[in-house]
Amino acid sequence: MPSFDIVSKVDLQLMDNALNVTRKEVTNRFDFKDSVVNIDFNKKENKINLETADDMKMRQLVEILINRANKQGIVPQAFDQSKDSYPSGKTIKQEIILRNGLKQDDAKKVTKIIKDSGLKVQTQIMDDMLRVTGKKIDDLQEVIQLMRSTELAFPLQFENMRS
């Protein structure tokens, strides 16, 4: 039976490239001249730690980071900015978590959307991904179109299409 997987991944190499471009742009911008800017990326925990002099520069830094990541192919929904920036001495710090892997709740939402559509496919939640199987490839392609047209708070990728 034809099948494919729905996943939510961030390519860490692309993210590293986006961070390098962000660092380069910040060093060249006049409004960041002579100010403290630190960007640290923890690949094991999928966390980006940002540090700037004030709140306005923090907002600009986050905006630059998201724009550069978007140009690298990482969608803005991959960044979890639920934690607010907080003061730490003379600087402002913020922790941004990368959403990597499909959480159980998110997988259930996707499954519900697919079931409500009435398409004749089966879904199976497997750890941090969702496997969709059906009798015809056309049904699977309809599921992909449905998921692309649905606005979700997390990014989705489709891989391992097998017939």
Report d(CA 20, CA 53) in Å as an integer: 20
Q: Is 23 left (phi over 0), alpha (psi -120 to 50) or beta?
A: alpha
Q: Indicate if the pLDDT at residue 38 is higher than 90.
A: yes
63-101: b (≥16 Cβ within 10 Å) or e: ebbbebbeebebbeebbeeeeebeeeeebbbbbbbbbbb
List pLDDT tens digits, range 112-157. 999 999 999 999 999 889 999 999 999 999 999 999 999 888 888 8
Report d(CA 69, CA 19) in Å as an integer: 8
List pLDDT tens digits, range 95-109. 999 988 888 999 999
Over its C-alpha atoms, the chain yields an Rg (Å, rounded) of 19
CA dihedral (44, 37, 86, 43) in degrees, to 10, reads: -10
CA 50 to chain centre: 17
- Within this chain, do residues 92 and 115 fall inside the same structural domain, yes or no? no
Domain boundary among 98, 123, 138: 98
Confidence of residue 161 (pLDDT cuts 50, 70, 90): confident
- Within this chain, do residues 21 and 89 fall inside the same structural domain, yes or no? yes
- Within this chain, do residues 17 and 85 fall inside the same structural domain, yes or no? yes
The domain of 158 spans: 3-8+102-162
- Within this chain, do residues 70 and 24 fall inside the same structural domain, yes or no? yes
Domain boundary among 47, 79, 98: 98
